[in-house]
């Protein structure tokens, strides 16, 4: 996951500070030297690191911190504030003007994930009540148009294309006319990239910009490229005056340097981050939440939002009633597992829980395949077995294991986990009744 190395090193630095009790200027400067090394190893821009360390040090050696009863916590608070400031302080949204169609032009190098990001953005906007139209202006990369059509189909968003024999600027103009006639209120233009920045690429993008006058130009950057991402952003911004950045592949093994440097260097906000390959794995970027995750403090707000979008409210209320009447079954268990999977990877979910930073998870194998195996076991049960697990005897377990490609031991383990979960749910339900029936909601249930 992104920031794993940086997060672990920063938390080790703060652990040492907490162990010292009272701090002096030497303690803080030693800690800041370790923070500096951690940031540089995470591929953060050198000037950004220098300015960041100076700002934190200046505040941390102040009288308020030195005389505090909890100086280490004060230092962590300052680092958190400066990290948030570094990444933009507040969330930056797309500035919809009310004009229709609102035109978003997606730019970036080849391989950064522009086409996928365009589809994900269209999916997000459609869920927000917009009527987007994707435009295929990459006429050079083999199968680029087909890829956009497949992604558009997955998002249930139409794709405008004129093939690969028409200039991108002409396609963009024709798409604008089409959008006006068909009541598409957002136009998302997927442009071509190159393996590197050159005059031909920039001239083409400038021509598209002149042709349709986009309301927003979003630069799509591969976060795994580190410092190169910052250089790319600077070049695109100089030529096109971009409005914001989408960082892709933040779920990969990235050091995080791009996310921490790009805002400070370009003075353009990160608006979205790609957190996986699925169509719904594009998220608004919140600097304060990201800073909190880097420092191992979790991200409860994002976790709640993921849960609210993944869990069906009607099903949640039905399940709550079942819990109150103690009728929780394997069918319900399967529903909840599938809802959790819709929230993203288990590792990603754990990273948002306060106290479960990456360093706390070392040695713990978090594998999404475990959930798939559980699903396979439950799906190999008959409907009667799911509703009444007490009837599952030895011969039934053997059949279930064979049908799910698992062992009898794994089936037994799941049966035990399910019974423990059911007991816990019953305790929650009893507690709910004791307070006031229907007033208290269980985690992830509205």
Q: Does pLDDT of 99 surpass 90?
A: no
Among the residues of 276-345, which ranges form H helices?
287-294, 300-310, 313-324, 330-342
How far is residue 304's CA from residue 413's CA, in Å, rounded to a whole number?
A: 29
How far is residue 107's CA from residue 115's CA, in Å, rounded to a whole number?
A: 10
pLDDT value at residue 150: 95
CATH class entry, domain 303-435: mainly alpha
Q: Give per-residue pLDDT as tens, 3-33.
A: 777 888 888 888 888 777 677 888 888 889 9
- Label residue 68 by pLDDT band (50, 70, 90): low
pTM (whole model) above 0.75: no
Helix H or strand E segment including 169? helix 168-181
The domain over range 4-86 is classified in CATH as 3.40.50.2000: no
Q: Which two tokens stand for residue 281?
A: 């794995």
CATH of domain 102-297: 3.40.50.300
Q: How many CA atoms lie within 13 A of 20 on its CB side?
A: 19
Better pLDDT: 78 or 121: 121
- Label residue 403 by pLDDT band (50, 70, 90): very high
Q: What does the pLDDT average to over 250-268?
A: 78
- Label residue 204 by pLDDT band (50, 70, 90): very high
- 375 contacts 338 by C-beta, under 8 angstroms: yes
- 246, 251, 254, 260: CA torsion to nearest 10: 40
**How far, in Å, are 73, 82, 175, 264, 414 from residue 89 at the CA level?**
20, 9, 36, 11, 45
Q: Give per-residue pLDDT as tens, 318-368.
A: 655 655 555 678 877 777 676 666 656 555 655 555 554 444 444 444 556
Map residue 66 onto helix, strand or coil: helix
Which of 1-10, 139-148, 411-420 shows the lowest mean pLDDT across its residues? 1-10
- Percent of the chain at pLDDT exceeding 90: 34
Which of 93-97, 164-168, 210-214, 381-385 shows the lowest mean pLDDT across its residues? 93-97
Q: What does the pLDDT average to over 158-170?
A: 92
List the chain domain ranges. 4-86, 102-297, 303-435
Q: Which of 424, 425, 414 is nearest to 322 (CA)?
A: 425
**How far, in Å, are 34, 337, 436, 446 from residue 30 at the CA level?**
7, 46, 54, 47
CB under 8 Å to 301, separation ≥6 — which residues? 286, 289
Q: Does pLDDT of 245 surpass 90?
A: yes
Better pLDDT: 340 or 398: 398
pLDDT value at residue 331: 77
Paired sense of beta strands 186-191 and 132-137, if any: parallel
């Amino acid at each position: 996951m992104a920031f794993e190395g940086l997060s672990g090193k920063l938390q080790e630095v703060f652990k040492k500070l907490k162990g010292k009790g009272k701090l002096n200027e030497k303690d803080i400067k030693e800690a800041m030297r370790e923070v500096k090394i951690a940031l540089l190893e995470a591929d953060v821009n050198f000037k950004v690191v220098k300015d960041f360390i100076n700002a934190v040090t200046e505040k941390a050696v102040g009288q308020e911190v030195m005389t505090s009863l909890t100086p280490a916590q004060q230092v962590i608070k300052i680092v958190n504030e400066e990290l948030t400031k570094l990444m933009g302080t507040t969330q930056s949204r797309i500035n919809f003007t009310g004009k229709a169609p609102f035109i978003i032009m997606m730019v970036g190098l080849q391989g950064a994930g522009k086409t996928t990001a365009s589809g994900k953005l269209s999916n997000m906007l459609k869920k927000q009540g917009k009527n987007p139209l994707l435009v295929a202006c990459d006429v050079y990369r083999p199968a680029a148009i087909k890829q956009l059509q497949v992604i558009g189909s997955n998002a249930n968003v139409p794709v405008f294309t004129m093939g690969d024999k028409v200039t991108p600027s002409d396609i963009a103009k024709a798409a604008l006319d089409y959008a006006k006639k068909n009541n598409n209120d957002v136009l998302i233009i997927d442009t071509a990239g190159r393996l590197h920045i050159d005059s031909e690429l920039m001239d083409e993008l400038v021509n598209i910009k002149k042709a349709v006058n986009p309301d927003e130009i979003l630069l799509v950057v591969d976060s795994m490229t580190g410092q190169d991402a910052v250089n790319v952003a600077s070049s695109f911004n100089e030529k096109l005056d971009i409005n914001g950045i989408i960082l892709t592949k933040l779920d990969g093994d990235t050091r995080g340097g791009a996310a921490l440097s790009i805002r400070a260097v370009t003075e353009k906000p990160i608006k979205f981050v790609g957190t996986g390959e699925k169509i719904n794995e594009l998220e608004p970027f919140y600097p304060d939440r990201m800073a909190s995750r880097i420092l191992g403090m979790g991200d409860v707000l994002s976790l709640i939002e993921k849960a609210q979008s993944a869990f069906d409210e009607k099903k949640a209320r039905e399940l709550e009633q079942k819990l109150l009447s103690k009728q929780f079954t394997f069918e319900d268990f399967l529903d909840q597992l599938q809802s959790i999977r819709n929230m993203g990877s288990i590792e990603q979910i754990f990273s948002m829980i306060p106290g479960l930073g990456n360093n706390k998870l070392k040695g713990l194998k978090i594998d999404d395949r475990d959930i798939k195996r559980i699903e396979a076991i439950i799906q190999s049960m008959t409907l009667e077995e799911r509703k009444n697990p007490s009837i599952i005897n030895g011969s039934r377990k053997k059949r279930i294991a064979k049908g799910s490609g698992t062992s009898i031991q794994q089936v037994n383990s799941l049966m035990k986990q399910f019974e423990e979960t059911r007991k816990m749910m019953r305790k929650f339900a009893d507690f709910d009744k004791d307070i006031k029936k229907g007033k208290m909601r269980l985690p992830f249930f509205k």
